[in-house]
Amino acid sequence: MTDHISIWGELSDVDHELRHVDVGGVRTRVLRAGAGPDLILLHGTGGHLEAYARDIAGLATAFRVTAYDMVGHGWSDLPDRPYTIDVLSDHLVGLMDALGVESAHLSGESLGGWVAAWTAAHHPGRVERMVLNTPGNIANKPEVMVRLRESTMAAVTDPSEANVRRRVEFLFHHKELVTGELVGLRRAVYSRPGFVRAITNTLVLQDPEVRKDFAWDPSWVGKITAPTLLLWTDHDPTGGLDEARMLLDWLPDARLHVIADAGHWPQWEKPEEYLRVHHEFLA
């Protein structure tokens, strides 16, 4: 993997700030870089802001980029409550308030895409344009929920190198791109005191009874006025192009771009194309 040395290598020549911000009593880890229109990046289930390490430098050339650890994730606080989509969306809006960001472009991957879309539907004045990056399981398939819940719990309850590597490899089509550094970061997160409880609070969204109140549905998706780019791949294990077409039918203003030869994390596997389509769409 000659074009990627390390996460620090990706950020080594980028002026950036990493700090914690108080969001309604939740100590929230935030990385900011660049100048220009605000762009907020939202990671997926069990993730952390380093999911965007390969993209921050390229996005910071045109945007003021904010990547953060959602409540109950990464190195942000882990309050003991279910992290349903409304809770995660309120945390995002609270972070924007704390940072003095009136409105922003949002780009969310997996769970982050779900949070971004919910926010665009329920807080339309806060969202300019939106990228839904492999948002995953739009059709609410039970087998996808079970697979995500079981693989995540296995890695968190026993964060061995092998278990966590399997969980991270699930995100990739080219599994050889999963570095020891990336696995090590996940192991550190999953080993935090209280993280088993925190991930249990996140995975309530894989319970059909809880999920039904937040499930992707035209009743709320159709309220989204922000121009939206659906960024799909041809090897996403959580949802196929049939689900992208569902969203195209539901969203008032949306277009689709498919990144070939990538899995659930195109921002890591295909950073050049990921950056290009972001610059073109958000501009």
Structural domain span for residue 134: 7-138+215-282
Please determine, for residue 2, whether its predicted confidence score (pLDDT) is greater than 70: no
Res 254: pLDDT: 98
Does 266 map to a domain? yes
DSSP-derived secondary structure letter, 199: H
- Is 171 a member of any domain? no
List helix spans (H) across the chain: 7-11, 56-59, 85-99, 111-122, 142-157, 161-169, 180-190, 195-202, 208-211, 218-221, 241-250, 266-269, 271-282
- Residue 71 is predicted with a pLDDT of 98
Residue 47 lies inside a defined structural domain of this protein: yes
- Residue-wise pLDDT tens digits, 93-110: 999 999 999 999 999 999
**For residue 162, what are the CA distances in angstroms to 73, 195, 259?**
21, 18, 28
4 — pLDDT class (breaks 50, 70, 90): confident
Per-residue pLDDT at 1 exceeds 50: no
**Residue-level pLDDT at 137:** 87
Mean pLDDT of the chain: 96
Domain count, the chain: 1
Q: Residue 83 sits in a domain of what CATH number?
A: 3.40.50.1820
- Evaluate whether residue 152 is within a structural domain: no
Q: Does 69 fall in a domain?
A: yes
Residue 46 has pLDDT above 70, yes or no: yes
Residue 166 lies in a domain: no
Q: Which of 3-7, 124-128, 224-228, 277-281 has the lowest mean pLDDT?
A: 3-7
What does the longest C-alpha to C-alpha distance in the chain come to?
A: 47
Give tens-digit pLDDT for 14-43: 999 999 999 999 999 999 999 999 999 999
Residue 50 has pLDDT above 70, yes or no: yes
In a domain, 250, yes or no: yes
pLDDT of residue 241: 93
Whether 147 is in a domain gets the answer no
Average of per-residue pLDDT across 132-156: 92
